[in-house]
Amino acid sequence: MRLLVLLLGCSVLGSQAADPAKILRVTFQAAETGFDPVKVSDYYSGTIIEAIFDPLLTYDYLARPAKLVPNVTESLPAISDGGKTYLLRIRKGLYFADDPVFKGVKRELIARDYAYSIKRFLDPRNRSPYAFLFEGKIAGLDELAAQARKSGRFDYDAVVAGLETPDRHTLRIRLKERDLNFGHVLAFTLVGAVAREAIEAYGDEAASHPVGSGPFRLKRYTRSSKIVLEANPGYRERIWQGKRVPMIGGVEVSIMEETQSRWLAFQKGETDIEYQLSEVAPSFMTEEGGLRPEFARRGIRLDRSVDPEITYLYFNMQERIGGQPNPVGGLGKERIALRRAIAMAYKVDDEIRIIRKGQAIRAHFPIPPGVAGHDARYRSGVPYDPPAANALLERFGYRKGRDGYRGLPNGEPLVIRYSSTPSERDRQFDELMKRSLDSIGVRLEIHKDRFPELIKLENQCRLMMRASAWIADYPDGDNFMQLLYGPNTGQSNNACYQSPEYDRRYEKSRRLPDGAERNRLYREMARLMEAHTVWLLLDSRYRNVLLQPHVQGFTKHPVLHAEWLYIDLTK
Amino acid sequence: MTAYVARRLWQFFPTLLGVVLLVFCLFNWVGGDPAYMLAGKISNPEQIENIRRQLGVDQPYAIQLWIFIKQIASGDFGASWSTNERVSDIFVTRLGPSLTVLVPLLVISTLLAMAAAMLVAYVRGSLTDRAIMIGCTVGQSVSILVYILVFQYVLAYQLGWFPVQGWGAGFAENLLRYSALPIIVGVAVSLAPDIRLYRSFFLDEINQDYVRTARAKGLSEHRVMWVHVLRNAAIPIVTNVMIQVPGLLAGAFLIERFFSIPGIGREVILAVERSDFPVIKAVTVYVALATMILNLAADLLYRVLDPRVQLK
């Protein structure tokens, strides 16, 4: 009887709809670009898309490291054929949010919507920044994209062998190669289902008329200023810890570029959650990383986590840059010694203390915390040790001249060219780099250029040295280890590193699921990278989220950003 | 008069051509390749070429320039490269918020500055004059950023008289609630230089013979200042206000960013950050056109204010 009462209670609780009076107010520090999932690459647009659209899979909100769970499917995909075939059964009775494009008829979410949505990533007209998620992966899809490039029209009705929909609710994906971690791609925020009729009806305006089946829908939108979401009344009955979600009636997102505006608005109670206040972190945080007592007394809470990202300093590994010899390139011993010495002279702790204002942790492993494959016990084998770095350079023939700077072993001048943007933040990095290289008598030349030009030169392997960052697209180690894979040179392998030993291990790791064997390979790859000193791993930044006392249920997920689904407001 | 206007309109073309060439060269010289901004984290050369082809930046410079000129002629600058929003829509939707702040700002600051300038010019050399001039020199030396930070902190956060930032859906709400503090900041920033400038205009007039004659005729000081002096001093003031308008429209980006006002200035900064050339092109051309048109309008106003002025 008690069980019956409990179940009834749960049922009543579970059936409660979102409270329209509960409006969560948050901010973005940069403007969105639009809400067409295949056309965006920025965090802000992606967060809104996450709230409006439904990917096939998602992540457990609380599990760390992130754990895949079904979203619109009945279960996790049935993987067969050694990891080449994924079978997904979509739950029946899920619907897109009502929209005039459906002419008053409830529009069910079906397998064909996902096949269509995946195809859109490779339509050349969409010039999707995330096309790489599916390129070279799904049988028949690249061929269709190649045809579209020739004809100028992507044939969405063409049969693609790797995207089958045997019935309304079943999607069978056939991959060209084994990939046991493809589930992460299917859980990626931007791989949510769009309705073909909505995309075609809104055309170029689809980016401002998102029609999804997710927990929220767009209510009001002033570009680059305000995005108002309301709970989707047709959202499926989804229970989280005994309550139907979403619990709040809507989200009001204000674009506030300036830190002072966001900080004052939060303190004044004009916003409920503040995600990005790293510049003023010392104002509300103690040196130990806690919240200052005056804020704690007001009931304000701090949610602190490490972003799933790494920042690193890379060396161009090519022997020559634009026809000229590259002093830091190649795998010769004296070149490795020079790279090692530079890495040993750079004080990462100073970077964290001075530039990051203490809001970062030292990165030792190429895969950051919260991401499958991260090894918390791994320690970098490249210590900060300028005397040892100087001794190393002496040993390999980099002798100091009368001006105090070293030359190459063959007596020619040695100049290291470090590239950065003209931003204030990068100037701080320039100074630290100059100080570091001065400590080992290596002359530094700073090359300044705009960000797009640096990326262009980087893709052409024409930069000698630069600091870079990578944040997880999905919480799997592969997303990070691919950064050093030889064939990715000219794309994501910005060090242009070509190592058969590394590549062999990487290719093997791709065929393995997350587990001990793959982790062993990752450790070997990390040591190899260190032995060749391709990168100097720098840090992973903290994300400090401030919460007003009435915000309940928030916890920062490594890759889900629209935590609004699980949040309640107690005011 | 008609011949004068026609000649001035004709002069628009070479001026605009100069602006077009300048912005085109600057963008292509220092703007960076937009394809790499749009390509995302992982892209291959084929994707980069596809983007360049779609944006038209793979075309020879002469063709790109010709397309630019045709866009000016048709008034259609296409769509934003980063958001795909029509450039015309960007201007239509952002102009309202900008004007909601700038029109009252300009009116209030001009009236206040004129009144204050006339007062200090009238009591030239007195303690009041010196005190206000010192205050103006100090005020003018302070960056607009300081005004914004201090006013936002004190008036909005500490005293709670205004919201820290924001923008609503209705005109009245935006004007009375959200624009009030930005207008106060804008007025505070412009008062100091305007008072100093307008004071010099008034002083020029106060020392004229016609003022001495008016006084000799027994006219009241009130009438001398508010009718005779003001009317003549208004001519350079009108010029100054007219010249300020286009610059303010695009140049109020700091106020718009700090107070989250979805106006033109904020959009310009976004476009520059994103290397969004269609928007940059349109802003430059529109600001150049507005400057030329308002200069012409100021010249025509001279004639209204002072019938002795001949436009030749």
Question: Is the minimum CB–CB distance between B155 and chain A shorter than 8 Å?
Answer: no
Contact B84 A125 (CB under 8 A): no
Span A428-481, pLDDT tens digits:
999 999 999 999 999 999 999 888 889 889 999 999 999 999 999 999 999 999
Span A177-236, pLDDT tens digits:
999 989 999 999 999 999 999 999 999 899 999 999 999 999 999 988 999 999 999 999
Tell me, what's the pLDDT at A571?
Answer: 66
Counted residue by residue, chain B has a size of 312
Tell me, what's the pLDDT at A16?
Answer: 62
Task: Look at strands A465-471 and A535-537 and give their pairing.
Answer: unpaired
- CA dist A561 and A548 (Å) reads 18
Instruction: Write the residue in B32, B83, B260 that is nearest to A225 by C-beta.
Output: B260
Span B241-299, pLDDT tens digits:
888 887 777 668 889 999 999 999 999 888 888 888 899 989 889 888 988 998 888 88
CA A473 to chain centre: 3
- CA dist A545 and A287 (Å) reads 16
Instruction: Write the residue in A220, A265, A490 that is nearest to B164 by C-beta.
Output: A265
The strand ranges marked E within A278-391 are: 301-306, 309-315, 320-321, 324-325, 360-362
Tell me, what's the pLDDT at A4?
Answer: 45
- Contact in structure between A542 and A211 (CB atoms under 8 Å): no
- Helices A386-395, A333-345: inter-axial angle, 10-degree rounding: 160
Tell me, what's the pLDDT at B40?
Answer: 80
- Which residues of chain B from 42 to 81 reach within 8 Å of chain A, CB to CB? 42-45, 47-48, 50-51, 54, 79
Helix (H) or strand (E) segment spanning residue B176:
none
Backbone phi, then psi, for A348, in 5-degree steps?
-60, -35
- Contact in structure between A431 and A405 (CB atoms under 8 Å): no
Min Cα–Cα distance to chain A from B176, Å:
18
> Which parts of chain B register pLDDT below 50?
none
Chain A residues with CB under 8 Å of B45 CB are 459, 490
- Contact in structure between B96 and B249 (CB atoms under 8 Å): no
Q: Which of A393, A411, A398, A311 is nearest to A352 (CA)?
A: A311
- Which residues of chain A from 468 to 497 reach within 8 Å of chain B, CB to CB? 470, 473, 488, 490-492
Q: Write the ipTM.
A: 0.82
Contact B50 A149 (CB under 8 A): yes
Chain A residues with CB under 8 Å of B36 CB are 452-453, 455-456, 459
Half-sphere exposure of A279 (CA within 13 A, CB side): 11
Instruction: Write the residue in A127, A222, A470 that is nearest to B262 by C-beta.
Output: A222
Tell me, what's the pLDDT at B259?
Answer: 93
Tokens 């970077």 sit on residue: A351
Could you tell me the CA-to-CA distances from A223 to B95, B238, B256 in Å, in that order? 13, 35, 14
What does the angle CA A508 – CA A510 – CA A516 come to, to the nearest 5 degrees?
Answer: 75
Q: Would you list the DSSP string of B235-274?
A: HHHHHHHHHHHHHHHHHTHHHHHHTT---HHHHHHHHHHT
Where residue A63 falls (left for φ over 0; alpha for ψ -120 to 50; beta otherwise) is: beta
Tell me which of A32, A33, A43 to substitute to probe the interface with B (most B C-beta atoms closer than 10 Å): A33
Chain A residues with CB under 8 Å of B272 CB are none
Mean pLDDT computed over A246-261: 94
Tell me, what's the pLDDT at A278?
Answer: 82
Min Cα–Cα distance to chain A from B48, Å:
9
- Contact in structure between B268 and B253 (CB atoms under 8 Å): yes
Chain A residues with CB under 8 Å of B262 CB are 222-226
| Higher-confidence position of A82 and A17 | A82
Closest-approach residue (CA) in chain A for B255 = A258
Contact A254 B165 (CB under 8 A): yes
Span A133-170, pLDDT tens digits:
999 999 999 999 999 999 999 999 999 999 999 999 99
- Contact in structure between A47 and A182 (CB atoms under 8 Å): no
Question: Is the minimum CB–CB distance between A129 and chain B shorter than 8 Å?
Answer: yes
Tokens 């063709």 sit on residue: B63
- Which residues of chain A from 231 to 290 reach within 8 Å of chain B, CB to CB? 254-258, 260-261, 264-265, 267-268, 270
Min Cα–Cα distance to chain A from B156, Å:
9
Span A474-525, pLDDT tens digits:
999 999 999 999 999 988 999 999 999 999 999 999 989 999 999 999 999 9
- CA dist A163 and A152 (Å) reads 22
- Which residues of chain A from 41 to 60 reach within 8 Å of chain B, CB to CB? 41
Q: Which of B270, B271, B64, B45 is nearest to A455 (CA)?
A: B45
Span B38-62, pLDDT tens digits:
888 788 888 888 888 888 888 999 9
- CA dist A173 and A166 (Å) reads 11
Tell me, what's the pLDDT at A2?
Answer: 47
Residue A300: which pLDDT band, with cuts at 50, 70 and 90?
Answer: very high
Helix (H) or strand (E) segment spanning residue A216:
strand A216-222
Residue A112: which pLDDT band, with cuts at 50, 70 and 90?
Answer: very high
- Helices B87-122, B180-206: inter-axial angle, 10-degree rounding: 50
Supply the pTM of this predicted model. Answer: 0.87
Contact B79 A132 (CB under 8 A): no
Closest-approach residue (CA) in chain B for A124 = B50
Chain B residues with CB under 8 Å of A127 CB are 38-39, 47, 50-51, 54
